[in-house]
Amino acid sequence: MHLNTHLIHMPGNYLFAEIARRVSAYAPSAPRPLIRLGIGDVTQPLAPAITQAMAAASLEMGTPEGFHGYPPDQGYDFLRQAILDADYAPLGVQLALDDVFITDGAKTDTSALQELLAPDARIALTDPVYPVYVDSNAMAGRLGNYENDSWSRLATLPCNAENAFVPELPTEPVDMLYLCYPNNPTGTVLTRAQLKRFVDYALQTQTLILFDAAYKAYITDDAIPRSIYEIEGAEKIAIECCSFSKSAGFTGTRCAYTIIPQALTAQVDGQAVSLNALWRRRVASRQNGVSYPIQRAAAAALSPDGRAQVDAQVRGYMDNARQIVTAFTSAGLQVFGGVHAPYVWLRIPGGQSSWDFFDRLLHEAQVVGTPGSGFGPSGEGYLRLTAFNTAEATREALARILAIL
Protein backbone atom coordinates (compact mmCIF):
# COMPACT_ATOMS: atom_id res chain seq x y z
CA MET A 1 0.00 0.00 0.00
CA HIS A 2 1.51 3.34 -1.10
CA LEU A 3 0.45 6.02 1.39
CA ASN A 4 0.68 9.81 1.08
CA THR A 5 4.09 10.39 2.66
CA HIS A 6 3.45 14.14 2.76
CA LEU A 7 0.58 13.50 5.16
CA ILE A 8 2.62 11.01 7.18
CA HIS A 9 5.43 13.51 7.76
CA MET A 10 3.27 16.44 8.79
CA PRO A 11 4.21 17.73 12.26
CA GLY A 12 2.06 17.23 15.35
CA ASN A 13 -1.69 17.51 15.69
CA TYR A 14 -4.00 20.03 14.12
CA LEU A 15 -4.01 23.03 16.49
CA PHE A 16 -7.62 22.81 17.63
CA ALA A 17 -7.45 19.04 17.99
CA GLU A 18 -4.55 19.48 20.42
CA ILE A 19 -6.49 22.12 22.35
CA ALA A 20 -9.48 19.78 22.56
CA ARG A 21 -7.25 16.97 23.82
CA ARG A 22 -5.81 19.11 26.63
CA VAL A 23 -9.19 20.51 27.61
CA SER A 24 -10.81 17.05 27.67
CA ALA A 25 -8.02 15.70 29.87
CA TYR A 26 -8.40 18.53 32.40
CA ALA A 27 -12.15 19.20 32.40
CA PRO A 28 -13.23 16.31 34.70
CA SER A 29 -11.00 17.62 37.52
CA ALA A 30 -11.66 21.35 37.00
CA PRO A 31 -12.92 23.05 40.20
CA ARG A 32 -15.48 25.13 38.26
CA PRO A 33 -17.00 25.17 34.78
CA LEU A 34 -14.64 26.03 31.95
CA ILE A 35 -15.23 29.18 29.93
CA ARG A 36 -14.27 28.75 26.30
CA LEU A 37 -12.78 31.73 24.48
CA GLY A 38 -10.63 29.54 22.26
CA ILE A 39 -12.12 28.08 19.11
CA GLY A 40 -14.03 30.57 16.97
CA ASP A 41 -17.44 28.94 17.27
CA VAL A 42 -20.55 31.07 17.64
CA THR A 43 -22.87 30.69 20.63
CA GLN A 44 -26.02 32.66 19.71
CA PRO A 45 -28.89 30.67 18.15
CA LEU A 46 -29.84 31.12 14.52
CA ALA A 47 -31.92 34.22 13.83
CA PRO A 48 -35.70 33.77 13.40
CA ALA A 49 -35.69 34.72 9.72
CA ILE A 50 -33.16 31.95 9.08
CA THR A 51 -34.91 29.18 11.00
CA GLN A 52 -38.29 30.09 9.54
CA ALA A 53 -36.91 29.89 6.00
CA MET A 54 -35.17 26.60 6.78
CA ALA A 55 -38.33 25.10 8.26
CA ALA A 56 -40.46 26.25 5.33
CA ALA A 57 -37.98 24.82 2.83
CA SER A 58 -37.85 21.52 4.73
CA LEU A 59 -41.64 21.25 4.59
CA GLU A 60 -41.52 22.15 0.92
CA MET A 61 -39.17 19.21 0.37
CA GLY A 62 -41.95 16.92 1.64
CA THR A 63 -44.26 17.75 -1.26
CA PRO A 64 -44.11 16.40 -4.82
CA GLU A 65 -44.01 19.86 -6.34
CA GLY A 66 -41.52 21.26 -3.80
CA PHE A 67 -39.05 18.39 -3.62
CA HIS A 68 -35.44 19.20 -4.65
CA GLY A 69 -32.78 16.58 -5.39
CA TYR A 70 -29.15 17.33 -6.11
CA PRO A 71 -28.60 21.09 -6.14
CA PRO A 72 -26.93 22.84 -9.08
CA ASP A 73 -23.13 22.49 -8.99
CA GLN A 74 -22.57 26.20 -8.27
CA GLY A 75 -25.62 26.63 -6.06
CA TYR A 76 -29.17 27.83 -6.60
CA ASP A 77 -29.59 31.05 -8.54
CA PHE A 78 -31.77 32.58 -5.79
CA LEU A 79 -28.88 32.44 -3.30
CA ARG A 80 -26.17 33.50 -5.72
CA GLN A 81 -28.23 36.50 -6.81
CA ALA A 82 -28.95 37.42 -3.18
CA ILE A 83 -25.19 37.40 -2.50
CA LEU A 84 -24.54 39.73 -5.43
CA ASP A 85 -27.36 42.07 -4.43
CA ALA A 86 -26.74 42.17 -0.67
CA ASP A 87 -22.99 41.74 -0.31
CA TYR A 88 -21.41 43.25 -3.42
CA ALA A 89 -23.73 45.76 -5.10
CA PRO A 90 -23.71 48.06 -2.01
CA LEU A 91 -19.91 48.17 -2.30
CA GLY A 92 -20.06 49.18 -5.94
CA VAL A 93 -18.66 45.79 -6.97
CA GLN A 94 -20.15 44.35 -10.16
CA LEU A 95 -19.94 40.56 -10.49
CA ALA A 96 -21.74 38.00 -12.64
CA LEU A 97 -23.95 35.19 -11.37
CA ASP A 98 -21.50 32.58 -12.67
CA ASP A 99 -18.71 34.13 -10.60
CA VAL A 100 -20.35 32.75 -7.42
CA PHE A 101 -19.85 29.20 -6.11
CA ILE A 102 -21.86 27.98 -3.10
CA THR A 103 -19.98 25.66 -0.76
CA ASP A 104 -20.43 24.07 2.67
CA GLY A 105 -17.82 26.27 4.36
CA ALA A 106 -14.93 28.65 3.78
CA LYS A 107 -12.59 26.06 5.29
CA THR A 108 -13.60 23.67 2.51
CA ASP A 109 -12.62 26.03 -0.28
CA THR A 110 -9.62 27.76 1.30
CA SER A 111 -8.10 24.31 1.76
CA ALA A 112 -9.10 23.02 -1.69
CA LEU A 113 -8.35 25.95 -3.98
CA GLN A 114 -4.68 25.01 -3.99
CA GLU A 115 -5.77 22.16 -6.31
CA LEU A 116 -5.80 24.77 -9.09
CA LEU A 117 -2.01 24.91 -8.84
CA ALA A 118 0.76 22.63 -10.06
CA PRO A 119 2.42 20.38 -7.45
CA ASP A 120 5.58 22.51 -7.53
CA ALA A 121 3.82 25.89 -7.24
CA ARG A 122 5.23 28.25 -4.63
CA ILE A 123 3.03 29.51 -1.80
CA ALA A 124 3.27 32.63 0.36
CA LEU A 125 1.25 33.42 3.46
CA THR A 126 1.28 35.64 6.47
CA ASP A 127 2.68 34.45 9.81
CA PRO A 128 0.77 33.93 12.09
CA VAL A 129 -1.87 32.33 9.89
CA TYR A 130 -4.96 30.12 9.90
CA PRO A 131 -3.36 26.62 9.97
CA VAL A 132 -5.58 25.19 7.22
CA TYR A 133 -3.74 27.20 4.55
CA VAL A 134 -0.47 25.57 5.53
CA ASP A 135 -1.75 22.06 6.16
CA SER A 136 -3.64 21.71 2.88
CA ASN A 137 -0.56 22.63 0.86
CA ALA A 138 1.65 20.40 3.00
CA MET A 139 -0.67 17.44 2.35
CA ALA A 140 -0.28 18.10 -1.37
CA GLY A 141 3.52 17.98 -1.06
CA ARG A 142 3.96 21.57 -2.13
CA LEU A 143 5.85 22.88 0.90
CA GLY A 144 8.96 20.72 0.85
CA ASN A 145 10.47 19.40 4.08
CA TYR A 146 9.53 20.40 7.62
CA GLU A 147 12.76 21.27 9.41
CA ASN A 148 13.49 23.53 12.40
CA ASP A 149 9.78 24.42 12.75
CA SER A 150 9.45 25.66 9.17
CA TRP A 151 8.74 24.39 5.66
CA SER A 152 11.59 24.56 3.16
CA ARG A 153 9.46 25.76 0.21
CA LEU A 154 7.03 28.07 2.02
CA ALA A 155 7.42 31.85 1.87
CA THR A 156 6.20 33.45 5.10
CA LEU A 157 5.42 37.12 5.70
CA PRO A 158 5.85 37.84 9.44
CA CYS A 159 3.24 40.00 11.15
CA ASN A 160 3.88 41.32 14.64
CA ALA A 161 3.60 44.41 16.81
CA GLU A 162 6.85 45.75 15.43
CA ASN A 163 5.45 46.05 11.88
CA ALA A 164 1.91 46.87 13.06
CA PHE A 165 0.80 43.47 11.72
CA VAL A 166 1.12 44.67 8.12
CA PRO A 167 3.00 42.04 6.07
CA GLU A 168 5.68 42.94 3.57
CA LEU A 169 5.39 41.87 -0.05
CA PRO A 170 7.01 38.54 -0.97
CA THR A 171 10.67 38.92 -1.83
CA GLU A 172 10.75 35.82 -4.04
CA PRO A 173 8.48 34.72 -6.90
CA VAL A 174 5.35 32.92 -5.69
CA ASP A 175 2.31 31.51 -7.45
CA MET A 176 -0.33 32.05 -4.76
CA LEU A 177 -0.55 34.39 -1.79
CA TYR A 178 -3.04 33.84 1.05
CA LEU A 179 -4.49 36.94 2.72
CA CYS A 180 -7.15 36.86 5.46
CA TYR A 181 -8.71 40.18 6.50
CA PRO A 182 -10.10 40.94 9.00
CA ASN A 183 -7.33 38.65 10.12
CA ASN A 184 -7.60 35.34 11.88
CA PRO A 185 -5.87 35.12 14.36
CA THR A 186 -4.67 38.68 15.06
CA GLY A 187 -7.97 40.51 14.51
CA THR A 188 -6.18 43.24 12.55
CA VAL A 189 -7.20 44.76 9.19
CA LEU A 190 -5.60 46.31 6.13
CA THR A 191 -6.45 49.79 4.94
CA ARG A 192 -7.51 50.35 1.36
CA ALA A 193 -4.03 51.63 0.49
CA GLN A 194 -2.33 48.65 2.14
CA LEU A 195 -4.56 46.16 0.29
CA LYS A 196 -4.03 48.02 -2.99
CA ARG A 197 -0.29 47.47 -2.58
CA PHE A 198 -0.86 43.70 -2.65
CA VAL A 199 -3.24 43.90 -5.61
CA ASP A 200 -0.76 46.00 -7.58
CA TYR A 201 2.00 43.53 -6.74
CA ALA A 202 -0.14 40.59 -7.89
CA LEU A 203 -1.07 42.33 -11.13
CA GLN A 204 2.59 43.03 -11.85
CA THR A 205 3.83 39.53 -10.99
CA GLN A 206 0.76 37.52 -12.06
CA THR A 207 0.43 36.10 -8.54
CA LEU A 208 -2.93 34.61 -7.54
CA ILE A 209 -4.33 36.06 -4.30
CA LEU A 210 -6.64 33.91 -2.21
CA PHE A 211 -8.50 36.45 -0.09
CA ASP A 212 -10.35 35.00 2.92
CA ALA A 213 -13.07 37.50 3.90
CA ALA A 214 -14.91 35.25 6.37
CA TYR A 215 -15.02 38.02 9.00
CA LYS A 216 -15.99 41.00 6.84
CA ALA A 217 -19.31 41.42 8.71
CA TYR A 218 -17.33 42.60 11.74
CA ILE A 219 -15.76 45.63 10.06
CA THR A 220 -17.07 48.77 11.77
CA ASP A 221 -15.53 51.44 9.52
CA ASP A 222 -16.59 51.93 5.90
CA ALA A 223 -13.07 53.11 5.08
CA ILE A 224 -11.84 49.52 5.59
CA PRO A 225 -12.43 47.36 2.48
CA ARG A 226 -14.84 44.46 2.99
CA SER A 227 -13.99 42.85 -0.34
CA ILE A 228 -10.77 42.72 -2.27
CA TYR A 229 -12.82 43.56 -5.37
CA GLU A 230 -13.20 47.09 -4.06
CA ILE A 231 -9.61 47.51 -5.24
CA GLU A 232 -9.22 48.25 -8.95
CA GLY A 233 -7.91 45.29 -10.94
CA ALA A 234 -8.49 42.70 -8.20
CA GLU A 235 -10.97 40.78 -10.34
CA LYS A 236 -8.02 39.83 -12.58
CA ILE A 237 -5.87 38.26 -9.86
CA ALA A 238 -7.98 37.38 -6.80
CA ILE A 239 -10.33 34.68 -5.53
CA GLU A 240 -12.46 35.63 -2.52
CA CYS A 241 -13.86 33.18 0.05
CA CYS A 242 -16.73 34.22 2.32
CA SER A 243 -18.82 32.44 4.92
CA PHE A 244 -22.17 32.54 6.68
CA SER A 245 -20.59 30.83 9.70
CA LYS A 246 -19.48 33.86 11.68
CA SER A 247 -21.80 36.46 10.12
CA ALA A 248 -25.04 34.48 10.47
CA GLY A 249 -24.22 31.68 12.92
CA PHE A 250 -23.87 28.87 10.37
CA THR A 251 -20.97 27.04 12.04
CA GLY A 252 -23.29 24.08 12.63
CA THR A 253 -25.40 24.66 9.53
CA ARG A 254 -22.62 24.95 6.92
CA CYS A 255 -22.91 27.35 4.03
CA ALA A 256 -20.41 29.67 2.39
CA TYR A 257 -19.46 31.00 -1.01
CA THR A 258 -16.41 31.59 -3.16
CA ILE A 259 -16.05 34.26 -5.84
CA ILE A 260 -13.94 33.46 -8.91
CA PRO A 261 -14.39 36.24 -11.49
CA GLN A 262 -14.42 35.24 -15.13
CA ALA A 263 -11.80 37.94 -15.73
CA LEU A 264 -9.34 35.86 -13.69
CA THR A 265 -7.08 33.94 -16.08
CA ALA A 266 -3.60 32.43 -16.17
CA GLN A 267 -1.28 31.96 -19.12
CA VAL A 268 -0.56 28.33 -20.04
CA ASP A 269 1.45 27.64 -23.21
CA GLY A 270 0.63 31.12 -24.45
CA GLN A 271 -3.12 30.67 -23.95
CA ALA A 272 -5.35 32.39 -21.37
CA VAL A 273 -6.96 29.75 -19.13
CA SER A 274 -10.05 30.67 -17.10
CA LEU A 275 -9.75 29.78 -13.41
CA ASN A 276 -13.51 30.08 -13.15
CA ALA A 277 -13.92 27.33 -15.77
CA LEU A 278 -11.27 25.17 -14.10
CA TRP A 279 -12.95 25.45 -10.71
CA ARG A 280 -16.37 24.78 -12.21
CA ARG A 281 -14.96 21.56 -13.68
CA ARG A 282 -13.42 20.59 -10.34
CA VAL A 283 -16.61 21.34 -8.40
CA ALA A 284 -18.70 19.22 -10.74
CA SER A 285 -16.43 16.26 -10.04
CA ARG A 286 -15.84 16.66 -6.31
CA GLN A 287 -19.03 17.73 -4.56
CA ASN A 288 -22.81 17.48 -4.63
CA GLY A 289 -23.41 20.92 -3.19
CA VAL A 290 -25.34 22.36 -0.25
CA SER A 291 -28.91 21.24 0.46
CA TYR A 292 -31.93 23.25 -0.64
CA PRO A 293 -33.19 24.08 2.90
CA ILE A 294 -29.75 25.37 3.91
CA GLN A 295 -29.45 27.54 0.81
CA ARG A 296 -32.92 28.96 1.49
CA ALA A 297 -31.80 29.70 5.06
CA ALA A 298 -28.66 31.45 3.78
CA ALA A 299 -30.72 33.57 1.40
CA ALA A 300 -32.96 34.54 4.32
CA ALA A 301 -29.88 35.75 6.21
CA LEU A 302 -29.36 38.24 3.37
CA SER A 303 -32.98 39.47 3.36
CA PRO A 304 -33.77 42.82 5.05
CA ASP A 305 -35.23 41.11 8.14
CA GLY A 306 -32.46 38.52 8.25
CA ARG A 307 -29.75 41.12 7.80
CA ALA A 308 -31.11 43.20 10.70
CA GLN A 309 -31.25 40.14 12.97
CA VAL A 310 -27.76 38.84 12.19
CA ASP A 311 -26.29 42.34 12.39
CA ALA A 312 -27.63 42.54 15.95
CA GLN A 313 -25.87 39.27 16.77
CA VAL A 314 -22.62 40.55 15.29
CA ARG A 315 -22.90 43.70 17.41
CA GLY A 316 -23.33 41.49 20.47
CA TYR A 317 -20.11 39.65 19.74
CA MET A 318 -18.31 42.93 19.07
CA ASP A 319 -19.51 44.24 22.44
CA ASN A 320 -17.73 41.24 23.96
CA ALA A 321 -14.59 42.07 21.98
CA ARG A 322 -14.67 45.63 23.31
CA GLN A 323 -15.04 44.27 26.85
CA ILE A 324 -11.91 42.19 26.38
CA VAL A 325 -9.88 45.00 24.85
CA THR A 326 -10.94 47.53 27.51
CA ALA A 327 -10.28 45.19 30.42
CA PHE A 328 -6.81 44.17 29.28
CA THR A 329 -5.79 47.66 28.21
CA SER A 330 -6.90 49.07 31.56
CA ALA A 331 -4.79 46.42 33.26
CA GLY A 332 -1.72 47.55 31.33
CA LEU A 333 -1.64 44.61 28.95
CA GLN A 334 -0.95 44.94 25.24
CA VAL A 335 -3.72 43.78 22.93
CA PHE A 336 -4.48 44.01 19.23
CA GLY A 337 -7.61 43.40 17.17
CA GLY A 338 -11.08 43.38 18.68
CA VAL A 339 -12.15 46.50 16.76
CA HIS A 340 -13.02 45.13 13.32
CA ALA A 341 -12.90 41.43 14.20
CA PRO A 342 -14.19 39.03 16.87
CA TYR A 343 -10.62 38.11 17.83
CA VAL A 344 -8.33 39.74 20.38
CA TRP A 345 -4.60 39.08 20.13
CA LEU A 346 -3.02 39.35 23.58
CA ARG A 347 0.71 39.79 24.05
CA ILE A 348 1.51 37.42 26.91
CA PRO A 349 2.99 39.18 29.95
CA GLY A 350 6.08 37.92 31.71
CA GLY A 351 7.72 36.21 28.77
CA GLN A 352 5.86 32.90 29.06
CA SER A 353 5.52 30.73 25.98
CA SER A 354 2.15 30.54 24.28
CA TRP A 355 1.46 26.94 25.32
CA ASP A 356 2.65 27.54 28.90
CA PHE A 357 0.29 30.51 29.18
CA PHE A 358 -2.53 28.48 27.62
CA ASP A 359 -2.02 25.78 30.27
CA ARG A 360 -1.84 28.39 33.04
CA LEU A 361 -5.17 29.94 32.02
CA LEU A 362 -6.73 26.50 31.73
CA HIS A 363 -5.56 25.19 35.10
CA GLU A 364 -5.63 28.39 37.20
CA ALA A 365 -8.50 30.38 35.64
CA GLN A 366 -10.44 27.59 33.93
CA VAL A 367 -10.48 29.68 30.74
CA VAL A 368 -9.68 28.25 27.31
CA GLY A 369 -7.80 30.43 24.82
CA THR A 370 -5.71 29.59 21.76
CA PRO A 371 -1.89 29.66 21.93
CA GLY A 372 -0.48 32.03 19.33
CA SER A 373 2.38 29.72 18.40
CA GLY A 374 -0.19 27.32 16.95
CA PHE A 375 -0.68 29.83 14.15
CA GLY A 376 3.01 30.02 13.24
CA PRO A 377 6.40 31.09 14.63
CA SER A 378 5.46 34.79 14.73
CA GLY A 379 2.56 33.89 17.01
CA GLU A 380 4.86 32.82 19.81
CA GLY A 381 4.35 35.02 22.85
CA TYR A 382 0.72 35.75 22.00
CA LEU A 383 -2.67 34.26 22.88
CA ARG A 384 -5.87 34.53 20.84
CA LEU A 385 -9.17 35.08 22.61
CA THR A 386 -12.53 35.07 20.83
CA ALA A 387 -15.62 37.16 21.45
CA PHE A 388 -17.92 34.21 20.66
CA ASN A 389 -19.52 33.69 24.04
CA THR A 390 -22.22 35.33 26.11
CA ALA A 391 -21.64 38.75 27.66
CA GLU A 392 -21.87 37.20 31.14
CA ALA A 393 -19.35 34.44 30.38
CA THR A 394 -16.99 36.96 28.79
CA ARG A 395 -17.06 39.20 31.88
CA GLU A 396 -16.50 36.19 34.16
CA ALA A 397 -13.58 34.98 32.02
CA LEU A 398 -11.95 38.41 32.15
CA ALA A 399 -12.31 38.55 35.93
CA ARG A 400 -10.70 35.13 36.27
CA ILE A 401 -7.80 35.99 33.94
CA LEU A 402 -7.05 39.33 35.59
CA ALA A 403 -7.21 37.68 39.03
CA ILE A 404 -4.34 35.32 38.23
CA LEU A 405 -2.29 38.07 36.56
Residue 116 within any structural domain of the chain: yes
Are residues 112 and 24 part of one domain? Answer: no
Alpha carbons 363 and 30: distance in angstroms, whole number:
7
pLDDT digits (tens, 9 = 90+) for 169-194: 999 999 999 999 999 999 999 999 99
Residue 232 within any structural domain of the chain: yes
Left, alpha or beta for 82 (phi > 0: left; psi -120 to 50: alpha)? alpha
CA proximity to 254, closest of 57, 35, 54: 54
Are residues 90 and 58 part of one domain? Answer: yes
Are residues 311 and 300 part of one domain? Answer: no
Please report which helix (H) or strand (E) contains residue 195, including its range: helix 192-205
- Which of 281, 304, 327 is the endpoint of a domain? 304
Residue 12 has pLDDT above 90, yes or no: no
Whole-number pLDDT of residue 147: 87
Q: Which residues of 85-123 are buried (b: 16+ CB within 10 A; e: fewer)?
A: ebbbeeeebebeeebbbbbbbbbbbbbbbbebbeeebbb
Helices (H), 211-303: 245-248, 275-286, 292-301
Residue 13 has pLDDT above 80, yes or no: no
Are residues 131 and 38 part of one domain? Answer: no
Q: Count Cα neighbours of 127 within 13 Å in the Cβ-side half-sphere.
A: 18
What's the average model confidence in pLDDT over 136-161? 94
Whole-number pLDDT of residue 64: 97
Whole-number pLDDT of residue 266: 95
Whole-number pLDDT of residue 241: 98
Are residues 58 and 24 part of one domain? Answer: no
- Other CB atoms within 10 Å distance of the CB of residue 390: 13
DSSP letters of 313-331?
Answer: HHHHHHHHHHHHHHHHHHT
Q: Say how many domains are in the chain.
A: 2
Alpha carbons 81 and 394: distance in angstroms, whole number:
37
Domain that holds residue 358: 11-44+307-404
Mean per-residue pLDDT over the chain, rounded? 96
Whole-number pLDDT of residue 152: 94
DSSP letters of 344-382?
Answer: EEEEPGGG--HHHHHHHIIIII-EE-EEGGGG-GGGTTE
pLDDT digits (tens, 9 = 90+) for 196-215: 999 999 999 999 999 999 99
- End-to-end Cα spacing for the chain: 53
Are residues 188 and 159 part of one domain? Answer: yes
Residue 166 within any structural domain of the chain: yes
Contacts of 124 (CB under 8 A, 6+ apart): 154, 155, 156, 157, 170, 174, 176, 177, 178, 207
Residue 100 within any structural domain of the chain: yes
Are residues 188 and 138 part of one domain? Answer: yes
Confidence band, pLDDT 50/70/90 cuts, at residue 305:
very high
Are residues 236 and 96 part of one domain? Answer: yes
Residue 6 within any structural domain of the chain: no
Whole-number pLDDT of residue 9: 86
Residue 327 within any structural domain of the chain: yes
For residue 349, give Cα distances in angstroms to 15, 186, 210, 357, 399. Answer: 22, 17, 34, 9, 16
Whole-number pLDDT of residue 149: 82
Confidence band, pLDDT 50/70/90 cuts, at residue 148:
confident
Alpha carbons 139 and 146: distance in angstroms, whole number:
12
Alpha carbons 280 and 337: distance in angstroms, whole number:
36
- Which of 304, 339, 369 is the endpoint of a domain? 304
Confidence band, pLDDT 50/70/90 cuts, at residue 167:
very high
Residue 395 within any structural domain of the chain: yes
- Which of 284, 304, 324 is the endpoint of a domain? 304
Are residues 211 and 132 part of one domain? Answer: yes
pTM of the model: 0.96
Residue 18 within any structural domain of the chain: yes
Domain of residue 206, CATH code:
3.40.640.10
pLDDT digits (tens, 9 = 90+) for 59-87: 999 999 999 999 999 999 999 999 999 99
- Other CB atoms within 10 Å distance of the CB of residue 209: 22
Are residues 332 and 256 part of one domain? Answer: no
What's the average model confidence in pLDDT over 265-283? 95
Domain of residue 338, CATH code:
3.90.1150.10
Is 276:99 a contact under the CB 8 Å cutoff?
yes
Are residues 193 and 151 part of one domain? Answer: yes
Are residues 100 and 33 part of one domain? Answer: no
